[in-house]
Amino acid sequence: MGLLRSCVAFGDFVDIYNREQIPTLSAGARAKYSVLLSRHIVPALGAKKLCEIDTETVQAFLNSKKEAGLAWWTRNDLKNVLSSIFTKAEDWGYWDGRNPTTRTVLGRKQWKRERRILSDDQFRLLLAALPTHVQLMVWTAVSTGMRVSEVLGLRWRSVDLDRGLVSVTERYYRGDTDEPKTERARRDLPLGCLVEAYRHHKPADAKADGYVFEKDGNPLDDRAILKDFIRPAAKRLGFYFSGFGWHSFRRQNLTRIQDEGATPFEAQVQAGHSRPTMTSDYTIVSIERLKQAVLRLQERLLGEGHSRAIN
């Protein structure tokens, strides 16, 4: 029976996967998986039988996507989707071999765009050019490292102004309310000097389950905020760059808190990442920071105040 089931067409099994597994994912993951399946995976592999897809087949598929110009991160997503499909095929009795994605490789990680953040002066200029409610959203993102879905999903019951904390317990993504992305994404984050701004922003009749950033009781749309306010302001000020958006603010937080002494572990907790490598990908180490580290090392070894060259 197992052999017969493993001979099912891969495209037919994807239909089962779409029906049984996709609905269990978060809204963002559902959208991403659906696009990757329909545009890339099914057109390339759908006609094959499940049992015909081995490691060589998957590697050739990933290599072809690299040749087609897909970024490392997109190819990594494709690999992850395929891995999930074969994991579920095993769980549901359609597959009993080794997952064919296990020993595939993607090559050296390459960034499609240069990873950048705003300078401190640029951030201050941007903030001053934004409406008050957008200012507070951006300040929150840069101060806490929250994902934009977490900022938009923030309700007043999760804001403790007496303790100066926000609790990430929910997220909102383009019409879909869900739990945080992972268990580590559930976290308490300090607001610092934003406490008073939140007090001023909070309506007198605010309900505990009301959204902090809303219009007519509904959360705002992250795309509209970028399109209507943040990106136009950055362009007017002359420091817009390709890819500038909400991820830039999260990257700015994780970079700057480490500049100010936070350990990589503390930054990982702040970000709500499950793996330290993900936090590392968000962190930009500037040459100026490295220069200061070298000078501190030299002063420690030579004695503070010494600047003599080695003879």
**56 and 165 belong to one structural domain:** no
Our measurement of the distance from residue 129's CA atom to the centroid of its chain's CA atoms, rounded to an integer in Å, reads 26
Q: Is residue 193 part of a domain?
A: yes
**130 and 275 belong to one structural domain:** yes
Q: Which residue has the higher pLDDT, 154 or 285?
A: 154
Residue 169 belongs to domain spanning: 120-287
Q: What are phi and psi of 41, to 5 degrees?
A: -75, -50
**87 and 124 belong to one structural domain:** no
Hey, how many other C-beta atoms are within 10 angstroms of the C-beta on 121?
9
Q: Which residue has the higher pLDDT, 293 or 91?
A: 91
β-strands 171-173, 165-168: how paired? unpaired
pLDDT tens for 2-51 read: 555 678 999 999 999 999 999 988 877 888 999 999 999 999 999 999 99
**126 and 268 belong to one structural domain:** yes
Average pLDDT over residues 66-77: 90
**277 and 204 belong to one structural domain:** yes
Q: pLDDT averaged over the chain?
A: 89
CB 247 within 8 A of CB 228: no
Q: Which of 72-76, 103-107, 212-216, 257-261 has the lowest mean pLDDT?
A: 257-261
What pLDDT, on the 0 to 100 scale, is given for residue 65?
Answer: 95
pTM score, whole prediction: 0.72
Q: Which of 41-45, 61-65, 92-96, 158-162 has the lowest mean pLDDT?
A: 92-96
Q: Is residue 155 part of a domain?
A: yes
pLDDT band of residue 283 (cuts 50, 70, 90) is confident
Structural element, H or E, at residue 152: helix 148-152
Q: Both tokens of residue 262?
A: 């936070």
Q: Which residue has the higher pLDDT, 200 or 72?
A: 200
**164 and 219 belong to one structural domain:** yes
What pLDDT, on the 0 to 100 scale, is given for residue 233?
Answer: 97
**260 and 166 belong to one structural domain:** yes
**258 and 142 belong to one structural domain:** yes
Q: Is residue 115 part of a domain?
A: no
**85 and 134 belong to one structural domain:** no
Residues with Cβ within 8 Å of residue 78, at least 6 apart in sequence: 36, 40, 41, 61, 62, 65, 70
Q: Is residue 258 part of a domain?
A: yes
Q: Is residue 74 part of a domain?
A: yes
Amino acid occupying residue 270: Q
CATH of the domain at 43: 1.10.150.130
What pLDDT, on the 0 to 100 scale, is given for residue 1?
Answer: 40
**138 and 229 belong to one structural domain:** yes
CB 180 within 8 A of CB 168: yes
Domain count along the chain:
2
% the chain with pLDDT above 90: 64
Q: Is residue 36 part of a domain?
A: yes
Domain stop point among 47, 75, 91 = 91
**184 and 67 belong to one structural domain:** no
Q: Is residue 265 part of a domain?
A: yes
β-partners of residue 190 are 165
Tell whether the model's pLDDT for residue 310 goes beyond 70.
no
**75 and 214 belong to one structural domain:** no
What pLDDT, on the 0 to 100 scale, is given for residue 111?
Answer: 63
Q: Is residue 310 part of a domain?
A: no
pLDDT band of residue 306 (cuts 50, 70, 90) is low
% the chain with pLDDT above 70: 94
Residues with Cβ within 8 Å of residue 105, at least 6 apart in sequence: 59
